Chains A and B, each alone.
Chain A
Amino acid sequence: MTTALNQSEHAERLSSLVSAMPAEIDREIGLDLFRDMTLGRRFEDKCAEMYYRGKMFGFVHLYNGQEAVSTGVICAMKRKHDWFCSTYRDHVHALSAGVPAREVMSELFGKETGCSKGRGGSMHLFSQEHHLLGGYAFIGEGIPVALGAAFSSRYKRDALGDERSDAVTAAFFGDGTCNNGQFFECLNMAQLWKLPIIFVVENNKWAIGMAHDRATSDPEIWRKASAFGMAGEEVDGMDVLAVRGATLRALERARSGEGPTLIECLTYRYRGHSLADPDELREAEEKEFWAKKDPLKKLEKDLTDKKLASQDELRKIEKEIDLEVQDSVEFAIEANEPDQDELTKYIWADD
């Protein structure tokens, strides 16, 4: 099996996708989506710069190329009400959930002002305030945690009688995770108990160096939902409006007590697995194919075609975002390191 063949299969899937009712948007929402995606892209570019300048350390996994998924899902949900659960590639999910760029950047710098107080780092971003259940560094381990948050929503509504308890949880993970037991176990339980959860697969085709169709017997992940009697949908993960449309449908099901949905977003990461990945296996042809599908350019075209925004307005937003990202870096540089006397703080609940 050659990589080129894999490439074309994955691309063919995307090109043959039936357009599954993209979301209708107005100008305000459109600009919000553009702002969120731009923040995701520019923030990650800045991370690469800071990593290579020796300002941040460890494993850093960037999200470039996948922005339509984070923005498409999270911006369709209610911030500080619904719950979000991420992986090691979590910076942009945190930003979409509303964690301030300053808090995310200073966490990556290991500073006390970071959203995890400098104890977590790139793969462990948390914010209770913004209902970010966390970045989970090991494959699949966040899915059960997300399931627990969804269980809480149902428990509060049905066991405690709180009718306002309608929070939905979005669990993000990749194609590699869909070969892991926790994925299947949690799909089963979610459907069994009709839990308000959306399983969002960001199928970027590569689990580090393992091509998706070399790792799984049926590459169409969304179809695995049907084994559990669950609703499943595949969407163009480079199209934020398609992702948003699928999310709104899943949200309706979840809030009305119909239970979970599995959404498979066909997407691509523009950088290596992490900044330490030499990225030697992916062919130039494949990268070019996906570069042409850039989700930001796609949204820009949609917004301008529909006359919801002008190019000038979008360039202005980009400048504002650049200032916000630059501000987050300056803030992170200035911020204090954690107090060394507090090395053992937060081990126990009363610390």
Chain B
Amino acid sequence: MSGTLLFNALREAIDEEMARDSHVCVMGEDVGQYGGSYKVTKGLFEKYGELRVLDTPIAENSFTGMAVGAAMTGLRPIVEGMNMGFLLLAFNQISNNMGMLRYTSGGNYKIPTVVRGPGGVGRQLGAEHSQRLEAYFHAVPGIKIVACSTPTNAKGLMKAAIRDDNPVLFFEHVLLYNLSEELPKGDYVCSLDQADLVKEGKDVTILTYSRMRHHCLKALETLESNGVDVELIDLISLKPFDMDTIARSIRKTHRVVIVEECMKTGGIGAELIALITEQCFDDLDARPVRLSSQDIPTPYNGKLENLTIIQPHQIVDVVNRIVQKGI
């Protein structure tokens, strides 16, 4: 096996960008000597030194704000949220300063920062460590939000995020770090705002992101054997959405199902449905459907946890119904 694990793909991306541009630096809890809680920055402390890979005290709002100030004065910091949920403590700096400051300052400053780390529901990590902050941050103006889902797009998106002059919230998924894949050779960079057309199809469009991409792929195995031809789109960019790709697909399939891990209320799917209704209403032959997590704190118990998030069989059921009966 010559494949690269997803966390190593992220590390390669950061390593390559740090080598390419000496203003790129990493800061966060245990990113240095410890190598990151998921080993995304392993070895970089030894290679680049303690200033470029800065171990910070546990002070999320302050070190995130420090990244803003560093970015305003010429650096390109990558902030690791040891768990993205911890960044609730940095909400003010991410919203007021990372997101809004460029506008509020009338274009005086750029804030080239990446905030990255593991999000999503893991295996029985309890409610606080199982959050999907992408929905909470969605309304903040001035930040881009992306979610990686494969080692290849993890690498290409991370490099793009580091090179982007805007603040980027970069969501990894705690259960995808050990996915393995052969990576493209050379300086591989993805577009930050482009959705990934995972599989072409004609019967129904599924829009998904992050770990749910893999649940959808599992569901597709069953659906294909039932003769349902699904078009699967990984959104990649959660803000802004790649509405061109989404609209093109809906014009073809006339049906859309959204599969997401965030909660239903105020979720990514909620905003997507609103946009689809506004922009693609006449192309739809059935009402859009979203499959989301329950609106509850993620329970610890494994069975309850599985009931909280969407499972592949639920995707199969809903897609079958929408294709057969146009529910």
Contact = CB atoms under 8 A, between A and B. Distances in A.
A150 B74 CA distance: 12
A131 B76 CA distance: 18
Contacts of A145: 65-66, 68-69, 72, 97
Interface in A114-132: 114-120, 124, 126-128
Interface in A305-346: 345-346
Nearest to B72: A133
A283 B165 CA distance: 51
Interface stretch (A41-49, A154-162, A254-262): A154-162
Given A126-B108, A141-B92, A189-B63, A148 B68 contact: yes
Interface in B122-167: 141-142, 164-166
Contacts, number: 155
A144 B96 CA distance: 13
B106 A119 contact: yes
B255 to A, nearest CB: 33
B47 to A, nearest CB: 12
Interface residues of B, number: 46
Interface string B99-122: 001111111111110000000000
Contacts of A137: 96
B22 interface: yes
B254 interface: no
B65 A347 contact: no
Given A138-B92, A151-B70, A181-B62, 8 more contacts: A116-B108, A126-B105, A145-B72, A148-B72, A148-B75, A152-B74, A346-B103, A348-B166
Interface of A: 83, 85, 114-120, 124, 126-128, 133-134, 136-138, 141, 143-156, 158-160, 181-182, 185-186, 188-189, 192, 345-351
B106 A144 contact: no
Given A147-B65, A154-B51, A155-B25, A83 B73 contact: yes
14 contacts: A116-B108, A124-B104, A126-B108, A133-B69, A136-B97, A144-B62, A145-B65, A147-B65, A149-B72, A153-B73, A159-B25, A159-B52, A185-B62, A347-B142
Contact of B106 (A114, A146, A153, A158): A114
